[in-house]
Amino acid sequence: MIATTKKTTRSINIGDSYYYCLSNFSAHRIWFEKRFYYTSEHLYQSVKFLSSEKSGARNSWVKVRKANSAFLAKKYAHENRESYREEWRVLNFKIGVMHQILLLKVKQHDDVREALHTTRDKDIIELSHSDSFWGQTYTGKGENWLGRLWMQVRDEIRTSV
């Protein structure tokens, strides 16, 4: 008889197929302030322009919100950095915005809530070669704020039930 070992890991990669719903690029519409946003990435990028008094902010918000993909929403937002709202320079503001978006996503989508629940107490990692703030590399370099926020949301929804 051949012995088999069960593969175990202490971390979850957001990019894995079952957990992709935790990605900001997953096709989960978010309802926010009487509007739908195609993805949480669309919403996050759009918030950069909300309440901004800067020239072009409204047009940028519309273009980002209506972008055909999350990738394009991010691209359009980055192309219009000069129109970002002033608060966007504050690190804790950005983190707070993402936290609120993740809460909306998990409250509005049962499959996201279920996937988050199945992570149990494992670390959630956003593997990224290009974003050391929201993610981290395979070698563990990076702050992994997206994963950290998902773990915080997981703890919050556990205690609210």
Please tell me the distance from the alpha carbon of residue 73 to that of residue 61, in angstroms, as a whole number.
10
Q: Residue 72 falls within a domain, yes or no?
A: yes
pLDDT one digit per residue (tens) for the chain, 161 residues: 444 333 446 899 999 999 999 999 999 999 999 999 999 999 999 999 999 999 999 999 999 999 999 999 999 999 999 999 999 999 999 999 999 999 999 999 999 999 999 999 999 999 999 999 999 998 999 999 999 999 999 999 998 76
Confirm if 15 and 144 have CB atoms less than 8 A apart.
Answer: no
Q: Residue 17 falls within a domain, yes or no?
A: no
Q: What is the pLDDT of residue 145?
A: 98
Q: What is the pLDDT of residue 159?
A: 86
Question: What CATH number is associated with residue 55?
Answer: 1.10.357.40
Q: What is the pLDDT of residue 6?
A: 36
Q: Residue 60 falls within a domain, yes or no?
A: yes
Structural domain count of the chain: 1
Q: Residue 101 falls within a domain, yes or no?
A: yes
Question: φ, ψ for residue 76 (rounded to 5)?
Answer: -60, -40
Q: Residue 77 falls within a domain, yes or no?
A: yes
Q: Residue 91 falls within a domain, yes or no?
A: yes
Q: Residue 125 falls within a domain, yes or no?
A: yes
Confirm if 49 and 61 have CB atoms less than 8 A apart.
Answer: yes
> Left, alpha or beta for 52 (phi > 0: left; psi -120 to 50: alpha)?
beta
- Distance in angstroms between the alpha carbons of the first and the last residue of the chain: 45
Q: What is the pLDDT of residue 161?
A: 61
Q: What is the pTM of this model?
A: 0.92
Please tell me the distance from the alpha carbon of residue 148 to that of residue 110, in angstroms, as a whole number.
21
Residues of the domain holding 75: 35-138
Question: φ, ψ for residue 124 (rounded to 5)?
Answer: -110, 125
Q: What is the pLDDT of residue 120?
A: 95
Q: Minimal CA–CA distance to 45: which of 21, 20, 72?
A: 72
Q: Residue 93 falls within a domain, yes or no?
A: yes
